[in-house]
Structure 1
Amino acid sequence: MKRNHWRLGAAATVLAVGIGTGAAARDTGLRPGWSFEVAPYAWLPSVDANLRYSLPPGIGGSADVKADAADYSAQFNFAMAVGATVRYDRFTLLTDIMYVSADAGASRVEGADIIGVGRNPISSSVNVSGSTNLKTTLWTLAAGYTLATGSWGNVDVLAGFRYLGVEATTDYNLAVTLLGPRGNAGPSFGGVGRVSGRDDIWNGIFGVRGRINIAQSGFFVPYYLDIGAGDSNLTWQTFAGIGYQSGWAGVQLGWRYMSYDQGRSSLVQDMTMSGAYLAVNFSF
Structure 2
Amino acid sequence: MRNARYFKNALALCLVTMTSGVGVAAWADEIKKPVAIPQVSNDWRGSITPYLWALNVNGSVYHGGNELVSANIDTSSLLSTLNMGAMLIGEVHKGNWGLSADLMYADITKTSSHPVGNYVDLGSKTSLSLGIYTVTASYTLHNSKDVYLDALLGARVLNNNGSTSFNVDGYPLLRKNINTTVTDPVVGVKGRFRISDSEYFVPFYVDVGGGGGNTQVTTQAYLGVGRAFDWGDVELVVKNLYYKQKNQGVTTNLDLFGAGVGVTFKF
* Same fold by TM-score greater than 0.5: yes
Task: Find the aligned partners of 1:228 and 1:82 in 2 and give their Cα distance.
Answer: 21
Distance 1:126 1:279 in 2: 48
User: Larger Cα Rg: Structure 1 or Structure 2?
Assistant: 2
Structure 1 position 74 matched with structure 2 position 60: no
Stretches of structure 2 that go unaligned for 5 or more consecutive residues are 1-33, 63-68
Matches within 5 A, 1:77-116: 77-105=83-111, 107=113
Aligned-partner SS, 2:55:
strand
Match in the other structure for 2:139: 145
Aligned-residue RMSD, C-alpha = 3.4
1:46 counterpart (32, 53, 56): 56
- How many angstroms apart in 2 are the aligned matches of 1:158 and 1:142? 6
Q: Tell me how far 1:215 sits from its aligned partner.
A: 1.4
Contact 2:35 2:199 in 1 (8 A): no
Structure 2 length as normaliser, TM-score?
A: 0.71
- Per-residue CA shift, 1:156-201, capped at 9, x if unaligned? 1100111000012223589xxxxxxxxxxxxxxxx94222211111
One-letter amino acid matched to 2:200: F
Taking structure 1 as reference, are residues 68 and 44 closer, same or farther at Cα in structure 2, changes over 3 Å only? closer
Please show how residues 1-284 of structure 1 align to structure 2 within 5 Å: 26-27=35-36, 30-33=39-42, 34-50=44-60, 71-105=77-111, 107=113, 131-172=125-166, 192-230=173-211, 231=213, 232-265=215-248, 269-284=252-267
Show the counterpart of 1:16: none
When structure 1 is superposed on structure 2, of 274-283 and 234-243 the one drifting more is: 274-283
* Structure whose residues are more often helix by fraction: 2
Instruction: Describe the SS at the equivalent of 1:32.
Output: coil
In structure 2, what is the Cα distance between the partners aligned to 1:158 and 1:78?
30
- String of CA shifts for 1:45-100, please: whole Å, max 9, x gaps: 12233479xxxxxxxxxxx8979686221221011244421111211111122221
1:9 alignment partner in structure 2: none
Does the 8 A contact of 1:40 with 1:281 survive in 2? Answer: yes
* Structure having the larger proportion of residues in strand: 1
* Cα shift readout 1:187-234 (whole Å, capped 9, x = no counterpart): xxxx94222211111100000100011012211111000000122110
Residues of 1 paired with 2:237 and 2:222: CA distance? 7
Q: Quick one: structure 1 residues 172 and 274, their matched pair in 2 at CA, closer, same or farther if it must change by over 3 Å?
A: farther
Q: Secondary structure at the match of 1:73?
A: helix
In 2, distance between residues paired with 1:72 and 1:140?
A: 22
Q: Is the 8 A contact 1:72 1:103 kept in 2?
A: no
Higher alpha-carbon deviation: 269-278 or 196-205: 269-278
Aligned mates of 2:150, 2:100 — CA distance in 1: 12
Determine helix, strand or coil for the equivalent of 1:233. Answer: strand
TM-score (norm 1): 0.67
Q: Structure 2 CA distance, aligned partners of 1:205 and 1:282?
A: 26
Counterpart in the other structure of 2:29: none
Could you say what secondary structure the match of 1:30 adopts? coil
Which amino acid letter does the alignment assign opposite residue 177 of structure 2? Answer: S
Identity %: 25
